[in-house]
Amino acid sequence: MEFEGITYEKEDIKNIANNQKIICWLFLFMILGIVIPIFLIANLVAIFYVYYLARSLKLVRPWAYVIGAFIPLVSLVVLWSLISRSTKILQANNIGVGLMGYKKAELMTFMDIAE
């Protein structure tokens, strides 16, 4: 599948969907825990998944997103931009995306069709 000139294989789409779901949950924890230590814990966990999602999206500089994820509040913008881009790619491949990530049944259907 091609999106904005970048070709994504079946495995890439699966990785994007899985990493996006984790990033969605971390984004929620960061919003809810902005004044308590949950924000710091979610931010540390998010750093790893930001890299994985940016790499799955085949972005040119995934480490730039990781650096942005280290900065409080800027990290929310970084997460939002990754979520937005991954949502567009998933929807372009007919995988429904809800508030907290992909719809499992539609991803499974996509994986079966892609084989």
Mean pLDDT score across all residues of the chain? 79
Tokens at 85, concatenated: 């881009």
Residue 69 resides in a domain: yes
Tokens 């789409």, residue located: 13
2 inside domain: no
For residue 84, give the nearest of 70, 69, 101, 108 by alpha carbon: 101
Specify the higher pLDDT residue, 80 or 71.
80
Q: For residue 74, is it within any domain? A: yes
Judge whether 3 lies within some domain: no
Q: Is residue 1 part of a domain?
A: no
Q: Count how many domains the chain has.
A: 1
Give the per-residue pLDDT at 1: 64
CA-CA distance, 5 to 80, in Å (whole number)? 22
**Spacing of C-alpha 91 from chain mean position:** 13
Q: Report the percentage of the chain scoring pLDDT > 90.
A: 0
CA angle 50, 20, 1 (to 5 degrees): 105
**Could you report the per-residue pLDDT of 31-70, keeping only the tens digit for each?**
776 666 666 676 777 788 888 889 888 888 889 988 888 7
pLDDT at 19: 83
On whether residue 34 sits in a domain, the answer given is: yes
Res 2: pLDDT: 63
Q: Give, rounded to a whole angstrom, the gap between the first and last alpha carbons of the chain.
A: 13
* Residue ranges making up the domain that contains 43: 8-114
